[in-house]
């Protein structure tokens, strides 16, 4: 997508037409396979971290006619701000931060260096470890100045939230294979689901194996692979890329929906970001394949805006209903008041007697 005020900035979309002035920021690779079904002749400059650039280059290395050079990337160090000069000569300050330990889901912060206020805060996928960001002083410094516009993926904004117990999920994966007397195959999209793979490996050390292209892509994230390659454990869970999986004998496929997790931001994750930033405006992210207008953010998110003013219509209506009574009711009330004036006895006020003393107190003492 492109912000209206800065059209040369592009978020998570690789243009098919080359523009020397375009600056593409890659924060995740969840939809990259669908985007690159047809490849551009030349790639625009892409700003991203080393792990994501390595994953993208490895994925494209198997595509014929693709030649990525180091000049196609601007490698960004996480939590390290850098200056970005626009075609109009103005300068913006940019920082990219990872929302989990793997570093495959980033948030993008862009601010004006003059006053330190964020122009854009962009988050397209689930940020599973916001506490990791809040533990960084530089991140807190950047968000303290306020936020003009918060971009969020609102596709899951109306879905009900349910907590994911990865201990129970790991046990379910193992039990599923035991029930079928076979190994368990988990077919995943090539990008975006690394977090759930790591959670399974933490709970099933040595029992999870990464297979084929999925193992090569996951290795680009630089994580310790020993938990997947321990020879002293017998593997019972096998992770495959769903696009290249070939059915294996003595293997049963675990339903993807039973993992209970997806890269799509949950209601709680959206609320956390909105309540943390208190932006002036909230906007949905326009995906590269979407058409039409993006619906506005739901009310439960809008109320966290710094400029939000709650509707006073319900309160005004209640006050109006109390003050504006029907004419018949008013007439009856006036008649009742007149009748009470006729029937009630007249009460005359009684004045208290005032005692006046002639002379002073010494005269009384002489008596």
**Tokens 């004998």, located at residue:** 249
Final residue of a structural domain among 226, 259, 292: 259
Q: Above 50 in pLDDT, residue 227?
A: yes
Residues 121 and 201 in one domain: no
User: Is the pLDDT confidence value at 348 over 60?
Assistant: no
Q: What is the pLDDT of residues 230-287, one digit of tens each?
A: 778 888 999 999 988 988 888 999 999 999 999 999 999 999 999 999 999 999 997 6
Tell me: do 98 and 230 sit in the same domain.
no
Last residue of a domain, one of 197, 232, 259: 259
**Tokens representing 22?**
């375009």
| Residue 23 within any structural domain of the chain | yes
How much of the chain, in percent, has pLDDT values that exceed 70?
A: 81
Note whether 63 and 124 are same-domain residues: yes
Q: Flag whether 363 is in a domain.
A: no
What's the total number of domains in the chain?
2
Mapping DSSP onto H, E and C, the string for the chain reads CCCCCCCCEEECCCCCCCCCCCEEECCCCCCHHHHCCCCCCCCCEEEECHHHHHHHHHHHHCCCCCCCCHHHEEECCCCCCEEEECCCCCEEEEEEEECCCCCCCEEEEEECCCCCCEEEEEECCCCCCHHHHHCCHHHHHHHHCCEEEEEECCCCCCCCCCCCCHHHHHHHHHHHHHHCCCEEEEEECCCCCHHHHHHHHHHCCCCEEECHHHHHHHHCCCCCCHHHCCCCCCCCEEEEECCCCCCCCCEEECCHHHHCCCCCCCHHHHHHHHHHHCCCEEEECCCCCCCCCCCCCCHHHHCCCCCCCCCCHHHHHHHHHHHCCCHHHHHHHHHHHHHHHHHCCCCCCCCCCCCCCCCCHHHHHHC
- Choose one of 239, 259, 279: the last residue of a domain: 259
Q: Is residue 337 part of a domain?
A: no
Whether 86 and 182 map to the same domain: the answer is: no
Q: Looking at the structure, do residues 139 and 253 belong to the same domain, yes or no?
A: no
Query: pLDDT band at 288, cuts 50/70/90?
Result: low
CATH of residue 85's domain is 3.60.15
Judge whether residue 165 has pLDDT over 80: yes
Model confidence at 291, in pLDDT bands (50, 70, 90)? low
Answer yes or no: do 211 and 110 share one domain.
Answer: no
Give domain status of residue 103, yes or no: yes
Q: Are residues 151 and 26 in the same domain?
A: yes
109 and 208 assigned to the same domain: no
192 and 272, same domain (yes or no): no
Is residue 323 situated within a structural domain?
no
Q: Quick one: 250 and 276 in the same domain?
A: no
pLDDT band at 363 (very low <50, low <70, confident <90, very high): very low
> Which has more confidence, 46 or 226?
46
Q: Are residues 154 and 237 in the same domain?
A: no
- Mean pLDDT score across all residues of the chain: 84
pLDDT above 80: residue 359: no
Q: How confident is the model at residue 63 (pLDDT cuts 50, 70, 90)?
A: confident
Residue 226 and residue 290 in one domain: no
Asked, for residue 356, whether it belongs to a domain, the answer is no
**Is the whole-model pTM more than 0.85?**
no
- Comparison of pLDDT for 360 and 154, the residue scoring more: 154
- Residue ranges making up the domain that contains 132: 9-159+263-302
Given pLDDT bands bounded at 50, 70 and 90, which one contains residue 292? low
From 120-124, 166-170, 332-336, 357-361, the region with the lowest mean pLDDT: 357-361
pLDDT digits (tens, 9 = 90+) for 98-119: 999 899 999 999 999 988 899 9
Q: Once rounded to an integer, what is the mean pLDDT over residues 6-12?
A: 94
2 in a structural domain: no
Residue 70 lies inside a defined structural domain of this protein: yes
């Amino acid at each position: 997508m492109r912000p209206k005020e800065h059209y040369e900035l592009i978020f998570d979309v690789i243009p098919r037409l080359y523009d020397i002035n375009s600056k593409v920021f890659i924060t995740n690779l969840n939809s990259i396979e669908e985007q690159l079904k047809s490849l551009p002749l030349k790639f625009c400059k892409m700003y991203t971290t080393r792990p994501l650039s390595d994953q993208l280059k490895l994925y494209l290395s198997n595509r014929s006619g693709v030649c990525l050079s180091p000049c196609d990337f601007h490698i960004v160090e996480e939590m390290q701000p850098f200056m970005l000069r626009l075609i109009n000569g103005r300068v913006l300050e940019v920082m990219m931060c990872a929302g989990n330990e793997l570093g495959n889901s980033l948030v993008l912060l862009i601010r004006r260096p003059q006053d330190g206020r964020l122009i854009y805060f962009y988050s397209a996928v689930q940020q599973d470890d916001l506490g990791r960001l809040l533990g960084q002083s530089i991140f807190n410094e950047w968000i303290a100045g306020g936020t003009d516009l918060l971009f969020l993926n609102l596709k899951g904004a109306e879905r009900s939230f349910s907590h994911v117990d990865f201990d129970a999920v790991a046990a379910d994966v193992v039990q599923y294979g035991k029930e079928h007397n076979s190994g368990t195959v988990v077919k995943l999209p090539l990008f975006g689901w690394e977090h759930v793979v790591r959670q399974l490996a933490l709970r099933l050390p040595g029992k999870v194996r990464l297979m084929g292209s999925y193992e090569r892509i996951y290795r680009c994230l630089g994580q310790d692979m020993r938990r997947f390659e321990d020879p002293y454990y017998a593997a019972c869970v096998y992770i495959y890329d769903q696009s290249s999986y070939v059915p294996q004998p003595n293997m049963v496929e675990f339903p993807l929906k039973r993992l209970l997790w997806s890269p799509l931001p949950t209601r709680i994750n959206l609320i956390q970001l909105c309540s943390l930033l208190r932006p002036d405006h909230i906007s949905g992210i326009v995906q590269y394949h979407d058409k039409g207008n993006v619906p506005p953010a739901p009310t439960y998110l809008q109320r966290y805006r710094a400029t939000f003013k709650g509707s006073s219509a319900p309160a005004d209506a209640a006050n109006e209903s109390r003050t504006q009574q029907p004419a018949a009711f008013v007439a009856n009330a006036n008649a009742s008041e007149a009748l009470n004036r006729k029937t009630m006895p007249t009460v005359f006020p009684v004045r208290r007697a005032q005692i006046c003393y002639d002379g002073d107190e010494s005269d009384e003492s002489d008596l």
